[in-house]
Structure 1
Amino acid sequence: MIAVLRLLGWLLAVALVALPVVAVLNGWIGAGRWPLTKLRATGEFERVDTALLRRTLLPYARSGFFAVDLDAAQVAVAKLPWVEHAEVRKRWPDVLEVRVTEHRPFARWGRDRVLSEQGRLFAAKGVDLPPGLPHFSGPTTRISDVVALYNDATALFAPTGMPVRVVELDARGSWTLALDNGTEVVVGRNEARARMARFVRLMPQLVAQPTQRLVRADLRYTNGFALSWQPVPAAERPLNPTPSPAAAVPRSQGQT
C-alpha cells in the first residue's frame, strides 16, 4: 500500500511539472506572455507579395514563441505564388524569421506552367510573367533535353538575328522550333544540332527574298530542306530590293 501511494505521489509530481510545459508548448498558456511580435523576411523580393506573406504567417505567430508550428508555417509559405523554397525559424525572444527563395522564370511550359531557372515547374495561374519568355512543351521527364536543345538552337540562330521563341518535343521525340519572325522549323528526331547548323548557313539567303517570306522549313531530309513560302504584300516590300542569289535547297525523298 505504501509503495502504491509513493508511486501515485511520484506520478502527481511529474504531472505538476510536465503539464505546464506541455501547455506552453501547445500554446494553451503563455502565448500572450511570449508572443511573436516581429516578422523578419530575408531574400530578394521581386515578385513575392510581402503583404500576403505576412497574412500567411500571422496565424502561426499568434501561438507564441514556444508553440509556433514552424513546419506548418513553412509549408504554408512554400505554397504562395513565386515561392520556390521557404525556411521559417524563430529567434528569441519575439522574432519569427522567414527566408524565401523566389522562382526565377526561364520559359513558359505548356499551357499553364512556368519553368524556373532551377529547372522546376510551377503554376502560372495568378502569376505576372515578364514579357519575351520562350515557350517550351514536351514530356516533363525531358525537361533537361528541352533546355539543352533550346540553348543549342539559341547559339546557332543568334547570328541570324532571329531568336528562338518556341521549342516543342512531341511524344515521338521529334523537335519543332518557331523563330521570332514566325518561321516554323521542323527539326525531327535525329542529328538535331547538325541539321540546324546546316540550315542556319543558308538563312541569310532565305530571309533576303524580297517578294517571299519563309513560313516553314522541314529539315527532316537527307540532302536538303522542304521550304514553304508566303508572298510578301506589296506594301511591305522594300522600294529598292537588293537582288540576292537564290538558295539551293535540294530535297531527297526520305524523312527521319
Structure 2
Amino acid sequence: MPLTLQATRRDRRAPAGRSLSPIEYAPPRPRRRGNPLRTRRLALWLLTLALGVECAAAVLTSPALDIREVRLTGLPELLPVESDATREAVVLDSRANIVRASTRTTAAPLARLPWVERVDVTKRPPNRLEVRIVARRPAAVLAASDGRWEVDERGVLIRPAARSAGLPVIALAGPAEAELGHSPRSSGAAAGVAAASLARVPEPLHVRKIEVDPAGDLCLNMNDGVRIRLGQTEELSEKLALVRRIYKSNPTISADVQSIDLRCPEVPACAPRSAGEEASQSAARRTRRLQATRTTSESTATPNGQGSEQGRR
C-alpha cells in the first residue's frame, strides 16, 4: 500500500503539472488568542504593585512625618552636668522621618553614658519621639587608692563620689582598677560590693563602712560602732543572716560589745567594751549567748522537732 504524506507549510503548492488531492492538503492552523481574564488580572496586579510603591515612597519621604519633637524623661535624677550631656547625646537629623528613624541608633549613645542604666525609645506618630532614661541608683561609695566613686548595686561605677554622699563606704586597701560605666576588676572590690548588696536584703543592715584588707577579708563597721569580722566571702549569706538574728535578739548589743567575730559562723565570738576579769567573764557569757542564738535558729529550721532536741543537747 503506497504511503501518502501530508504537505508541510513549505510544500503546500503542487508540483508543476500536478494538483494536490484533498487528502494530501493540510489547511493552516488558526492563531491562538490570549485569555482576556488572565490579561486583566496581570494588569491589575501591576497597577496594585505600582500604587504600593508610590504610597511607601510617599510615607518615607513625606515632610508631614518628620520628627519635630523629642521628649526626654528621667533627667531629674541626674546632676545638671549629666543632664546636659544626656541631651547632647540625643542626635537626630533635622528632617528625620519617624518611620525610617531607628530606635537602636537613638538609644546607643545614651546607653554608653555611665549614669544610664536603661534607655527606652518609643515612636509616637506623626511627629514625636519619646526617650525615657532610667538612671543608675547609687548604693555605696567605693573608696580605693586610685579614687572614690559612687557605685550601683551591681558595682558599676556611676560618677566620682562627693564627700557627703551619705552612703555606706566600701574601703579597699589597694586600687579598684575600674573605669566609669564598668565594674571594678579588683577581687576585693567585687567582694565588698557583694557584701553591700547582701546587707540590703531582705532586711537592711545599718552598715556605715565595709573594709576589705589585702587578703580579701571583710569587716563591717556598723552605725552603732560595732565591728563585725566576716572573713572571706565563703558562706557570706549565712554570716549576714546571723548578724540580722543577733541584732534582732539584742538591738542594744553595742552597749556591751565592741566587736563580733563571725569568720567561723559555727562558733561566733565577741569582744567586750571594758577590760578586766569581769569583762572577760561577761564576754564569755555573751559568746555563749551568740552561739545559742545560732543553735536556736538552726533548730528552728530543722523539721519534725529534731532541731529543738539538738538545741537542748
Query: Quick check: TM above 0.5?
Result: yes
Please indicate the TM-score interval, normalised by the length of the shorter structure. Answer: 0.5 to 0.7
- Contact 2:219–2:228 (Cα < 8 Å) also in 1: yes
Q: Within 2, Cα distance between the matches of 1:61 and 1:69?
A: 14
2:121 is aligned, of 88, 92, 116, to: 88
Determine the structure 2 residue equivalent to 1:123: 156
- Contact 1:61–1:96 (Cα < 8 Å) also in 2: no
Q: Which has the higher strand share?
A: 1
- Contact 1:150–1:167 (Cα < 8 Å) also in 2: no
Are 2:54 and 1:20 aligned?
A: yes
Mapping for residues 9-88 of structure 1, pairs under 5 Å: 9-23=43-57, 27=60, 29-30=61-62, 32=63, 34-47=65-78, 49-59=82-92, 62-74=95-107, 76-88=109-121
Q: Which structure has the larger Rg over C-alpha atoms?
A: 2
Deviation at residue 61 of structure 1 after TM alignment:
6.8
- Contact 2:220–2:227 (Cα < 8 Å) also in 1: yes
Q: Which runs of 5+ in 1 are unaligned?
A: 155-162, 169-173, 208-215, 230-243
- Contact 1:167–1:177 (Cα < 8 Å) also in 2: yes
Determine the structure 2 residue equivalent to 1:165: 209
Return closer, same or farther for 1:225/1:175 CA change in 2, 3 Å cut-off.
same
Return closer, same or farther for 1:105/1:61 CA change in 2, 3 Å cut-off.
farther
Return closer, same or farther for 1:196/1:220 CA change in 2, 3 Å cut-off.
farther
Q: Which TM-score applies when normalising by structure 1?
A: 0.56
Query: How many residues in Structure 1 have an aligned counterpart in Structure 2?
Result: 210
- Contact 1:60–1:68 (Cα < 8 Å) also in 2: no
Q: Which runs of 5+ in 2 are unaligned?
A: 1-33, 171-188, 295-313
Deviation at residue 124 of structure 1 after TM alignment:
0.9
- Contact 1:186–1:220 (Cα < 8 Å) also in 2: yes
Instruction: Tell me the amino acid that sits aligned with residue 192 of structure 1.
Output: V
- Report 1 or 2 for greater relative contact order, CA contacts < 8 Å, sequence distance ≥ 6: 1
Q: Which TM-score applies when normalising by structure 2?
A: 0.48
Instruction: Tell me the amino acid that sits aligned with residue 270 of structure 2.
Output: F
Q: Within 2, Cα distance between the matches of 1:18 and 1:87?
A: 32
Give the percent of matched residue pairs that are identical in Structure 1 and Structure 2. Answer: 21
Q: Within 1, Cα distance between the matches of 2:151 and 2:88?
A: 25
Instruction: Tell me the amino acid that sits aligned with residue 114 of structure 1.
Output: V
- Contact 1:109–1:115 (Cα < 8 Å) also in 2: no
Q: Within 2, Cα distance between the matches of 1:195 and 1:113?
A: 30
2:219 is aligned, of 150, 168, 176, to: 176
1:110-147 CA-to-partner distances (Å, cap 9, x unmatched) read 9888225xxxx36316x244523223854988886332
